[in-house]
Amino acid sequence: MTQKLTNSKLKSATKEQLIPLILTVVTAGALILLIFLEVTILNKLIPEKIHRTIQWNDVLIGLTIYLKTSVDFAIFIGNLMANYKGVKNRIAIEIGTAAGNAFGTILILAIWDFFKEVKPLLAVMIVIAALVLLKLAEESLEHIKDEEKGSQLRLMKMSARITSILTPINNFFHKGLRFIVPNLSMKPKKGLSFWGLVGLSITIPFILGLDDFAGYVPLFNVVNVLGFSIGVILGHMVLNIFLFLSPKTTIKVVKNPVVSIIGSVAFIILALYGFYEVFKILFLHH
């Protein structure tokens, strides 16, 4: 009997941890191959070739910079984990967020290679990403209203002040933004299928990936873009692994009211930084 229970627990642990983690690594590998394919195609189309020799210092730079600037992804994935529980949903979130981040990277890489100086287009992408971040900042405060009802009055007042500023801004831009990013909300949707959750997991990370990678463009004069791109994908893989090693802890942390406010403020700061980057791109760079 004890042996059967042990085997059952082992199978359960394998299903809940090992399989999704292996899938995370496999997904990252597939996306790296996709980056290689993109570079191969771009090199056939563009006279100025991208070097396909991988320098591990470039990979490390990409991985390190990504992890240092990935607070937006971490909070978004944490919120998805809180709303969509279970191994099947976990796999959908892993695949979707990794793919969304990689597709944003792939698009910026193609634009950069074709045009090099598409500053207005980069500015538009960053503005869209900043508006998405403001929406996420508002939703990050939902847990305080849902979970804390009446306790920790100071946090609730602070949350109300931030929300009162964000809500009119988000309402103003919502009509136009919903055509570009249809799945802005992280709130649970009834009857969402596996592929529906994959789609939700792709949408916002794609926009955030555009924003992050657009900000990396100045580095391409210093580091090899292929190695750097691989580092970004590996960085997202590492982030996913750490988040999913302990889903219960991650959900508990993300739902903490203090973390919710910190997350909201982080999103606002990132959005404001995005607007500042747009100002620099359009008016300070010649």
pLDDT value of residue 143: 60
Q: Which two tokens stand for residue 222?
A: 């210093």
Higher pLDDT, 142 or 86: 86
pLDDT value of residue 181: 57
The continuous run of DSSP H or E covering 275 comes out as helix 257-279
Count, residues in the chain: 286
Mean pLDDT, residues 165-171: 86
Higher pLDDT, 10 or 30: 30
Examine the pLDDT at 171 and tell me if it is beyond 60: yes
With a CB cutoff of 8 Å and minimum separation 6, the contacts of 194 are 88, 89, 92
Report pLDDT digits (tens) over 216-247.
665 666 678 888 889 889 988 888 888 777 76
Mean pLDDT, residues 104-113: 78
Mean pLDDT, residues 181-209: 69
Mean pLDDT, residues 143-171: 73
Examine the pLDDT at 33 and tell me if it is beyond 80: yes
Q: How high is the mean pLDDT of the chain?
A: 75
**Domain segments of the chain as ranges:** 2-284
- Of 232, 250, 220, 245, the C-alpha closest to 98 is 232
Examine the pLDDT at 30 and tell me if it is beyond 90: yes
Looking at residue 50, what DSSP letter applies? P
Around Cβ 141, how many Cβ atoms within 10 Å?
A: 22
For residue 7, name the pLDDT band (cuts at 50, 70, 90): low
